[in-house]
C-alpha cells in the first residue's frame, strides 16, 4: 500500500471547501466520503482540540488509508464503514448530533481507481467488479451478463448519457451469445466494436460511469444522503457538496433548491404558489469551480462543482 501516500489523492477545491464548512472550530463535523482523508485532514488542522470529525466510507481500502493519514488526530476522529445514505443513523448511534458541517466529495476517489482488481477503469484489464462495498451482491459483471438489452440501453442512456446506448447494448448481447463478458478489457472491446475511434474514450468513460452508478445505486443514495444531511445539521451548520458530473450536480441542485424554496408550486395553473418554510439558505447561487492552476495540477478537478448551503 506504499503508493497510498499523501500524493495518491489530491483533494479537489480543498481550501474553498474547508473555508465553507467550518463555522465553529469546536464543533462536530462529518466527512461523508472520507476517501483517503485529504479533506478531513485539512478540516482537522483548522479545528480546535475539542472538536470532532466523523468520517464515513463504504470502501475498506479508503478507510484504511484514511486511518493511516489521520493517525495524529486519532482521539478526535471516528471512522465508520457506511454509505452516506445512512448518515443520520451513524450520527444518532454515536450520539453527537446535530452537527456543524457535512462534506460530500462525490465521484470515485483515486484510491478506488488505483486499487487493483476493482474494475473501475477501462485502462487496465481486470475483473468487472465496481462494487465500492464488497458486500454488495451485484457486481458489474453480473449486470453486464444478466440485464436484458432494454435494461442495458436504459442504464447507458440514463446514467451515462451515451448516444450509442442501444447499439452498445445490442453488441453486448451478441458478445454474450459467444461467451460471458468477465473483464473490463472485454467490455471495452465490445464498446470499441461499435463506437468510432475518435469518440471511443468518451464513450468508454460514459459506459463505465453508468455501470458504476448502477452497481452502487449512487444517485438514489445521493438523494437519500443529502436529505439525511439536511436533517442532521444544527441551525447555522453548513452542507458542502462537490460533484463531478451533470447527473450528480442536478440532484444536488434540485435538493438544495427545494430545501431553500420560500414557496412551493400549488400544482394548479390558477392557484397561487403555497408559502413554504425553507430549511436551507444557498450560500452562492452558482456553483464554485476550480481555478485554472488547480485543474492543471490535478486534472480530476476539471469537472468539479461545489455547492454550499446553510441550515436555517
Q: Where in the chain is the domain with CATH 1.10.150.170?
A: 118-216
Q: What per-residue confidence (pLDDT) applies to 231? A: 97
The CATH fold of domain 14-111+219-311: Rossmann fold (3.40.50)
Residue-wise pLDDT for 271-287, tens only, equals: 888 898 999 999 989 99
Q: What per-residue confidence (pLDDT) applies to 9? A: 66
Residue-wise pLDDT for 63-87, tens only, equals: 999 999 999 999 999 999 999 999 9
109: left (phi over 0), alpha (psi -120 to 50) or beta: beta
For the entire predicted model, the pTM comes to: 0.91
Q: Cell numbers 451469445 correspond to what residue?
A: 177
Q: What per-residue confidence (pLDDT) applies to 296? A: 95
Q: What per-residue confidence (pLDDT) applies to 55? A: 98
Question: Residue 143 in contact with residue 211, Cβ under 8 Å?
Answer: yes
**DSSP β-bridge partners for residue 53:** 29, 77
- Low-confidence stretches of the chain (pLDDT beneath 50): 1-8
Q: Where in the chain is the domain with CATH 3.40.50.150?
A: 14-111+219-311
- CATH assignment of 118-216, among 2.40.370.10, 1.20.1560.10, 3.40.50.300, 1.10.150.170: 1.10.150.170
Q: What per-residue confidence (pLDDT) applies to 267? A: 82
What is the rounded distance in angstroms from the CA atom of residue 76 to the CA atom of residue 276?
38
Residue-wise pLDDT for 262-274, tens only, equals: 988 888 888 888 8
Between helix 149-160 and helix 165-178 the angle, nearest 10°, is 140
Residue-wise pLDDT for 17-30, tens only, equals: 999 999 999 999 99
Amino acid at each position: 500500500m506504499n503508493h497510498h501516500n499523501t500524493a495518491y489523492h489530491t483533494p479537489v477545491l480543498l481550501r474553498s471547501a474547508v473555508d465553507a464548512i467550518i463555522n465553529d472550530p469546536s464543533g462536530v463535523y462529518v466527512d461523508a466520503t472520507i476517501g483517503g482523508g485529504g479533506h478531513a485532514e485539512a478540516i482537522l488542522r483548522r479545528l480546535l482540540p475539542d472538536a470532532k470529525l466523523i468520517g464515513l466510507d463504504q470502501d475498506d481500502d479508503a478507510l484504511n488509508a484514511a486511518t493511516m493519514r489521520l493517525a495524529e488526530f486519532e482521539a478526535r476522529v471516528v471512522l465508520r464503514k457506511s454509505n452516506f445514505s445512512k448518515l443520520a443513523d451513524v450520527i444518532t448511534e454515536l450520539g453527537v448530533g446535530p452537527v456543524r458541517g457535512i462534506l460530500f466529495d462525490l465521484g470515485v476517489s483515486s484510491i478506488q481507481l488505483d486499487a487493483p482488481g476493482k474494475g473501475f477503469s477501462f485502462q487496465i484489464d481486470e475483473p468487472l467488479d465496481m462494487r465500492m462495498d464488497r458486500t454488495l451482491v451485484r457486481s458489474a459483471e453480473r449486470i453486464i451478463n444478466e440485464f436484458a438489452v432494454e435494461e442495458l440501453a436504459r442504464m447507458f442512456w440514463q446514467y451515462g448519457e451515451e448516444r450509442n446506448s442501444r447499439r452498445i447494448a445490442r453488441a453486448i448481447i451478441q458478445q454474450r451469445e459467444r461467451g460471458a463478458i468477465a473483464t473490463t478489457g472485454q467490455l471495452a472491446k465490445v464498446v470499441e466494436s461499435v463506437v468510432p475511434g475518435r469518440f471511443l474514450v468518451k464513450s468508454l468513460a460514459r459506459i463505465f460511469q453508468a455501470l458504476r452508478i448502477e452497481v452502487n445505486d449512487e444517485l438514489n443514495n445521493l438523494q437519500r444522503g443529502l436529505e439525511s444531511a439536511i436533517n442532521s445539521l444544527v441551525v447555522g451548520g453548513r452542507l458542502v457538496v462537490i460533484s463531478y458530473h451533470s447527473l450528480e450536480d442536478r440532484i444536488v441542485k434540485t435538493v438544495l433548491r427545494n430545501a431553500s424554496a420560500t414557496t412551493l408550486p400549488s400544482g394548479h395553473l390558477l392557484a397561487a404558489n403555497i408559502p413554504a418554510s425553507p430549511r436551507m439558505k444557498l450560500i452562492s447561487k452558482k456553483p464554485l469551480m476550480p481555478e485554472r492552476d488547480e485543474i492543471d495540477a490535478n486534472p480530476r478537478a476539471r469537472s468539479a462543482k461545489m455547492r454550499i448551503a446553510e441550515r436555517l
